[in-house]
Structure 1
Amino acid sequence: MSLGGVARSRLAEERKAWRKDHPHGFVARPATSPDGTVNLMVWNCCIPGRQGTDWEGGSFPIVLTFSEDYPSRAPICKFPKDFFHPNVFDSGMVCLSILSQDNGWHPSITVRQILMGVQDLLDHPNLADPAQGAAHRLFIHNPIEYKQRILNQAQLYKSAI
């Protein structure tokens, strides 16, 4: 089986498992191509803000883009451009150890684990590995303004998909 075949086979299995059982409030579905076919290599997802946090009430859109090398290579995970968080680049790309090819990625990591890991990152940023200077500085030096930005972002993304 070719690498792309392995990737698609694994993603088809993950889709089946997700449809049977997934965390409440989360959305993860393959994109639909212009011709109406399912594109298993790109998933449109939403991550709910965890209850009891400043992120609560938001449903944050994120796209997972898989390569033909998946699961040997981690997917690219991106929020919308300019998403406000210390561990999200201005491009929207998420900076998370389990998504790092050199640091924490392992082929056994599932879509479910990725999305749950990103949800955890929202409220528990890794300040040792900042990707967005402005969010990082606010988190450290002006927590009240940081909290307000997060509350505003949760309002902005009340219903994303």
Structure 2
Amino acid sequence: MVGGIACGRLAEERKAWRKNHPHGFVAKPATGPDGSTNLMVWHCIIPGKPGTDWEGGHYPLIIYFSEDYPSQPPKCMLPKGFFHINVYPSGDVCLSILNAATGWSPAITVKQILLGIQELLEHPNPSSSAQFECNKLYMQQDKTEYKRRVKEQAKQYPALI
């Protein structure tokens, strides 16, 4: 069965998420046109942490799992053009726990991935920059323009309530 181990693990993750997940976060498998559930693609929402420049934003993320999951990390995608040092223009998230060579462990859960990305929003890693302009603004002593752009971006992703 293609993705048998991956699908089994993701079914368990889905069950665990439904029982206990952080407030304001959303993570659910995609639904096909025929109403079927696709455990290999999850649609998520990551809320900006209160008290940060990211507050108020509810950032859409898609997680793509391969049939090699959990041996290999999933691919996490924010919207194209997302303004963040560690997000490529394509939307691909650059985070150590998502890197098979440096930080991935099969024990890492969807919940840990989402919390890790939320933490990355406020605490980027300039040494692993994916966007030159964003990194340049962040590294300046006066981060006024960086903060302004982050707050503007938060307004682009309001809660869907």
The question of a shared fold, defined as TM-score above 0.5 by the shorter chain, is answered with yes
d(CA) in 2 for partners of 1:160, 1:117: 22
Equivalent position amino acid for 1:127 in 2: P
Match of 1:54 in 2: 53
Indicate the percent of aligned positions where both proteins have the same amino acid. Answer: 59
Whole-angstrom distance in 1 between the partners of 2:95 and 2:129: 10
Any conservation in 2 of the 1:8–1:41 contact (CA below 8 Å)? yes
**Corresponding residue number in structure 1 for 2:155:** 155
Counterpart position of 2:124: 125
Residue deviations 1:98-121 (CA, integer Å, cap 9, x gap): 000101000000000000000000
Distance 1:158 1:152 in 2: 11
- AA aligned opposite 1:60: Y
CA deviations 1:71-99 (Å, max 9, x no partner) are 00100000000000000000000000000
TM-score normalised by L of structure 2? 0.97
Deviation at 1:36, TM superposition (A): 0.9
* Dislocated runs of 4+, deviation >6 Å: none
Pairwise CA RMSD? 1.2
Compute the displacement of 1:3 (Å). 6.2
Give structure 1 stretches of 5+ with no counterpart.
none
Residue number in structure 2 paired with 1:20: 19
Report the counterpart of residue 42 of structure 2 in structure 1. 43
TM-score by length of 1: 0.97
Aligned amino acid, residue 31 of structure 2: T
Q: In the alignment, which residue of structure 2 is the partner of 1:144? A: 144
| Count of aligned residue pairs for this structure pair | 160
